[in-house]
Amino acid sequence: MSGELRSVTPPLCRAGLRTVPRPARGVDQRDLTVRHNWRRIPCLVPSPTLAQPARHVTAPDVGGLGLILPTFPQYRAELPSAAALADLCRRAEAGGAGALWVCDHIFWHGPALEALSALGVAAGATSGVAVGTCILQLPLRHAPSVAKEAASLSHLSGGRLVLGVGVGTHAGEYAAAGVEFQGRGRRLDAGIDTLRRSWEVSSDARYAQLPAAGPVPVWVGGSSEAALRRAARRGDGWIPLFLPPDDYAAALGRLDKEAERVGRDSATVARATVAFVSVGTSDATERGLGWMASLYGLPARSFERHLVAGSARRCAAALARFVDAGAQHVAVFMASDDPLVQFEDLAGEFAGLTASRSAPPRAARAVEQVEDQVWR
């Protein structure tokens, strides 16, 4: 990523989809003031290129896969240290990752790192790759606190943060947190609105979230129709899970119609998806299904239609079908505690295949045949 790109727009802003509203009229973000004990005190903010996130909300390059970081190890006895996680992030960025993502569970049946803490390590260890949550269960958290944490991460990362949010599906986790499971969708809607209000700066506010980092792109996670509608109405992007390419393409059509129904340009909603992948030889499927079964505490057969497995080229061809369906980004959840080697091989093949979409018909048909074998 060139220095010129970073100085104008962060890595998610190569083709801006929309302009995010500026702060309240008359507010200079580089010389903000607040009232304190009836005196006006200047609050100097660093240069906008450092303090403000993107004014355009878009997706990472389709030629670069996103990697979900291994913060939920299944076969290792210990969680990764900060040093180990930082090293993995640097190597993933060098290996072609378009974004680094972190999943979120506050209560789980196995060890897990807290999402925003792990994301801070990722942001500090990298310089150009996008970083994001995939996804943060906002109804389990205090939305103004999340707004401050997200604004701080956006500032520290130079505007590279994407905040993915969703409701989650585990009633037991809500019970452990002392939060009602029912009504979580309404609380998510209210939470997204609270995030955006918190990121706004009023010229006469005595208490505000400063420095004014500006709006952070909010992507809505989830494969349900409620999640799709929420993304169309409130989100800057949609990032579902467990949707095969054909179903994903159909869902994007419904997303477009819903956005248009509420008066939005459907092009302002970034399109992404999550896919589980196991790269390897003849045992890749068995290994991957076993890892997913351990992660979710469910029988391996539950994930047979949701795991992409096989050689790096075979897996890349399967993921390229999401791009053909309309995805601007594919976040890959490698079904392994050591995802980097598999991911590097996959990212190289994927970059080549997405570039070959303009190849001669014969070569393109060869790619299609590989894809059909994976998703059949």
What angle is formed at CA 131 by the lines to CA 277 and CA 346, rounded to 5 degrees? 25
pLDDT < 50 positions in the chain: 1-57, 59, 62, 360-367, 370
What per-residue confidence (pLDDT) applies to 108? 95
What per-residue confidence (pLDDT) applies to 201? 80
What per-residue confidence (pLDDT) applies to 355? 81
What per-residue confidence (pLDDT) applies to 358? 55
pTM listed for this prediction:
0.81
Name, in order, each residue with C-beta under 8 angstroms of 6's C-beta and a sequence gap of 6 or more: 49, 128, 158
What's CA 37's distance to the chain center, in Å? 41
- Alpha carbon distance 364, 356 (integer Å): 7
What per-residue confidence (pLDDT) applies to 48? 33
pLDDT in tens, 113-155: 999 999 999 999 999 999 999 999 999 999 999 999 999 999 9
- The length of the chain is 376
- Alpha carbon distance 269, 55 (integer Å): 14
What per-residue confidence (pLDDT) applies to 212? 73
What per-residue confidence (pLDDT) applies to 193? 96
Both tokens of 280, joined, read 């390897």
Identity of the residue numbered 33: T
